[in-house]
Amino acid sequence: MRRSGKLNQLTSFVLIMCLAFSVFILSPDIAKAEDVEPTGVTLNVTTKDISPGETFQLQATVAPQGVSTTLTWTSSNTTNVTVDNNGVITGVNIGSADITVKTSNEKMASCHVNVRQKNYTQLIFEENEIKLQPGEVAKIEGEVYPADAINTEIYWESTNTEVATVEGDENKSRKAYVTGVKVGYCHVIAKNKAGEQIGSIKIKVGNPSGLEKAKIVKASKVIITELKRGKGTFKVKYKKIDEASGYQIKYKKSGQWKIIDTTKRSYTVKNLPKGKYKVKVRAYRKYNGKKYYGHYSKTQKIKVK
């Protein structure tokens, strides 16, 4: 039993000595691991296009993997692009900036950021009107602004596909082809990716007869563009209706509608008592001694002083 006890003591002593020796041998390596510094840093992108108000997450990768460091983010031009402590960039104004990430030992990586308009805001045509015959195809093309918008898509629509249809060019978004269908008028409208109208051009198909012109006006609907009050007056403005002979203005405070006919595209009604009035407008075309009326505009309200 004594011999066994001494053997156990000897074994324990040897294990303790081995452990101590291991700690002594390995401790310099442990110290070295704690003192390892980054050898480099990279970003997930080196260039990026964004629009004002848009954000994007930059991601930094430090080498060697697992090394501990503090990252500092800076923007060369905070007027155009800002960056937070986590690498999230935000477009502020049209322009550019360089976003830099830096480790605690001055290792760096950068991303060049361009802030551009997201969508086209204008498409300007050289002509105000395109004339063609039924079955004829005409090309239309305009200049886009801003030219360096991020999204270059343009969507085309006809306001009356019974008169003319439109199809965009496959290779050039600012170009389209209009096909005349039948005699009449319509507009071709261009919209950007956000669905906002950026351009419009009038399409005239054929040479409408007197009756056809009357039918064009009959199918129309006036849009009031301005309704301005004054002392005992109000002034109403409206968009032009093609082939209209004149316009009929209806207004009332209460009771029966009062009617004014005019050939002008704006009219001031005077000598009105104070109060709230309803106003609407429609176009008409005279043909063979008869008036052909279009649809009334949406009724609007105004308070006269």
Q: What is the pLDDT of residue 16?
A: 56
d(CA 206, CA 134): 7
Q: What is the pLDDT of residue 27?
A: 46
Which CATH number describes the domain made up of 40-115? 2.60.40.1080
3-state secondary structure 73-109: EEECCCCCEEECCCCEEEECCCEEEEEEEECCCCCEE
The b/e string for 172-207 (b: 16+ C-beta within 10 A; e otherwise) is ebbebebbbbebbbbbbbbbbbeeeebbebbbbbbe
User: Over the stretch 94-115, which tens digit does the pLDDT of each residue have?
Assistant: 999 999 999 999 999 999 999 9
CB 91 within 8 A of CB 166: no
Q: What is the pLDDT of residue 10?
A: 53
Q: What is the pLDDT of residue 1?
A: 46
Which CATH number describes the domain made up of 122-206? 2.60.40.1080
Successive 10-residue mean pLDDT values, the chain, 305 residues = 52 55 46 72 97 96 93 97 97 97 96 96 94 96 95 96 95 95 94 96 93 92 96 96 96 96 96 96 95 97 95
Domain assignments of the chain as residue spans, ordered by start: 40-115, 122-206, 214-304
Q: What is the pLDDT of residue 26?
A: 46
d(CA 167, CA 188): 10
Q: What is the pLDDT of residue 36?
A: 87
**Fold for the domain defined by 214-304:** Immunoglobulin-like (2.60.40)
CB 148 within 8 A of CB 132: no
User: Over the stretch 232-261, which tens digit does the pLDDT of each residue have?
Assistant: 999 999 999 999 999 999 999 999 999 999
Strand order in the sheet with 129-132: 129-132, 197-205, 184-191, 155-158
Domains 40-115 and 122-206 agree in fold: yes
The b/e string for 231-261 (b: 16+ C-beta within 10 A; e otherwise) is eeebebebeebbbbbebbbbbeeeeeeeeee
